[in-house]
Structure 1
């Protein structure tokens, strides 16, 4: 079996929890509310959040569930999630260190299963099939993500893309398949979910404006499996220096606006 690309290695997020908590954008309320409205979960429902990180999805919607399970491979992420839950006074989340593919639960255990910005890193066929078995009849499975549409690419974002290419080329975007167009990759994801037996599979998109500062852009990059201090090693200072120099030359204000395309892919078990 060929070696996995660095950003898809199991330990690619080791040591990134602090930057992840601080600099990853929260899911917009309209995205989460849209998903919950579509899922129609009852008040006594249980949520399973796979590849949860520090609970970016789980903590944001925990109040809508009687019980939440958050599962992530990286112990630092789980510990950060526990701290964040304590800080927020959220007490109904059970944290588990482990691979999504190895999680075990009785059939029909959950009303909603989510995977936030991580389905591309998982064995999608296996995880979708397991999720189908873990859901109650009528329960929902959803993957969440974000990106920037090609027709909404801000000029400064092209500067970022150029510097990233100079340092790392084009990173692998999904496990087990070559990079393709975003539309083709989305179609493959939806098909994997349908093949697991789900119905009503559809992707909902939400265009949300956002303004970055130089600090939050650099911090967000550090929370990424391709651009973290760990991923770039001794090249990381040069990367941040080059990126900051080009961005400030483009706009000395240090404010960088764009429209982010947030989305979720929704599916239901009959």
Structure 2
């Protein structure tokens, strides 16, 4: 993963990303037989959303991310929430290495698509203790969502960036294969949990969320940011003048157990 993909996004990421619903995290913990004394590895941890919220269920947590700004925000949040059992590593998932059978659970929250998945899937498998899972989490985005106003946002983004989705300074590469196929090829068996979450956005919250992404960050928009923002506000207010926009977000957890 390019450590500059999310340059300038951290304040927006920490404030405007929608957190994983607690009910979904509880379901994940029920599916993964946890002892309370094990270790968690959170790869691509970002601002610590999963690492911090799951920390109380483990003796030790190792959280890994290549973006130093993201890690600094995560460490600050961990201090505020008194999550003291987390170690932070500033490196990519591909750079990380550990002993076999080291972790009771390994999580990746909305970051597996940035990783070298065919390389990482079997490596992660070796790091898991027997019968323990890898859990990949994510949610619908503006690009995949089907709310009636989503196409309008996509049109505005494309007006300012062109038809191809951006990813930092480059273009987003669509995945050659879905996560499920990569994991099956690496010898996992899969279960999936889906959780629908009603989300209401104000224009300010929606813009903040967009600025937290790799395709519409301030670093990507640069001098276009004021005009992009004016265009988005005008487009959405024309669609719904009350400035409130609703969607049913779909969160998911892909629970991958290595074949015994």
150 and 76 in structure 1: CA distance in 2 versus 1, 3 angstrom threshold: closer
Q: CA deviation at 1:202?
A: 2.7
Q: CA deviation at 1:56?
A: 1.1
Task: Report if the CA contact (8 A) 2:137-2:252 is conserved.
Answer: yes
Task: Report if the CA contact (8 A) 1:148-1:259 is conserved.
Answer: no
Question: Could you state the TM-score of these two structures normalised by the residue count of structure 1?
Answer: 0.88
**Which of 28, 39, 45 in structure 2 is aligned with 1:46?**
39
Which residue matches 1:195?
Answer: 185
Which residue matches 2:209?
Answer: 220
Task: Report if the CA contact (8 A) 2:7-2:217 is conserved.
Answer: no
What is the DSSP-based 3-state SS (H/G/I as helix, E as strand, rest coil) of the residue aligned with 1:137? Answer: coil
What is the rounded CA distance, in whole Å, between the counterparts of 1:87 and 1:115 in structure 2? 23
- CA RMSD, Structure 1 to Structure 2 (Å): 2.3
Task: Report if the CA contact (8 A) 1:146-1:260 is conserved.
Answer: yes
Which residue matches 2:9?
Answer: 16
Match status 1:207 vs 2:201: no
Q: CA deviation at 1:35?
A: 1.1
Which residue matches 2:82?
Answer: 89
Question: Could you state the TM-score of these two structures normalised by the residue count of structure 2?
Answer: 0.91
User: What are the within-5 Å matches in structure 2 for residues 46-195 of structure 1?
Assistant: 46-147=39-140, 153-168=146-161, 169-171=163-165, 179=174, 185=177, 188-195=178-185
Q: CA deviation at 1:31?
A: 1.5
126 and 150 in structure 1: CA distance in 2 versus 1, 3 angstrom threshold: closer
What is the DSSP-based 3-state SS (H/G/I as helix, E as strand, rest coil) of the residue aligned with 1:113? Answer: strand
Task: Report if the CA contact (8 A) 1:50-1:71 is conserved.
Answer: yes
**Which of 252, 263, 269 in structure 1 is aligned with 2:241?**
252
Task: Report if the CA contact (8 A) 1:62-1:68 is conserved.
Answer: yes
Task: Report if the CA contact (8 A) 1:72-1:78 is conserved.
Answer: yes
1:143-192: CA deviation from partner (whole Å, max 9, x where unpaired): 1111069997222222111111222223168x9x9537xxx85xx31121
Which residue matches 1:5?
Answer: none
Q: How many residues align?
A: 256
**Which of 227, 232, 252 in structure 2 is aligned with 1:263?**
252
